[in-house]
Amino acid sequence: MYLIAGLGNPEKKYDGTRHNAGFAAADRLSERLGISLSERKFNAVFGKGSFQGEQVLLLKPLTYMNRSGEAVRAAADYYRIPPEQVIVLYDDINFPCGRLRVRPQGSAGGHNGIKSIIAQLGTENFPRVRIGVGGLSKREDLVSHVLGHFSREDAAVMERAYDAAAEAACCIVTEGCEKAMNRFNGLDAAAEA
């Protein structure tokens, strides 16, 4: 079984913000795989289904970003899912809007949700799909930026990025992280318009 976790903040006011790119990609994956995120447990909403013969647990933590690891670990422990089969979808300010980066492991890179997951799982060895949300302007602080909304133009780019991130997660499940890296690293949804 694979656990695919999209990271974000649960309140309605955070819908459409940069920090909720992982939630948006998880919602896209929910539609694509026909997995309803209607169950509540582990301090998360989740659903179970399958994709090309693989069991998938799709999860959105309700713990707020800084404590995402608590929900991810609780679900992984309950279903006995090893870290190598925990795929995390999340926002990254180090890439332009719509740019994807798939990695099989790595540090948190300053992302509090990933820090929490690393601390809870006790390892950096889990695949992730980083979704570029654009960097800070000189006049912006980090919190305002990640909790801010996209411009209309960037929002259109992000819609394509969420589809691509969902596809990248599916590729990891069926073909492995290396194939997903080859196909999706550097993919730029802004250029796909």
Report the run of H or E that residue 2 belongs to, with start and end. strand 2-6
> Under DSSP, is residue 23 helix (H, G, I), strand (E, B) or coil?
helix
Alpha carbon of residue 154 to chain centroid: 18
DSSP type of residue 37:
-
- Cβ atoms of 172 and 102 closer than 8 Å: yes
Q: How far apart are CA 148 and CA 167, in angstroms?
A: 26
**Structure-block tokens of residue 112:** 């509090």
> Active-site residue numbers?
19
- Between the CA of residue 169 and those of 11, 43, 107, what are the distances in Å? 25, 22, 19
Nearest by Cα to 188 from 160, 166, 149: 160
Cβ atoms within 10 Å of 108's Cβ, excluding its own = 14
DSSP 115-146: HHHHHHHT-S-S-EEEEE-----TT--HHHHH
Give the pair of three-digit tokens for residue 59.
């999860």
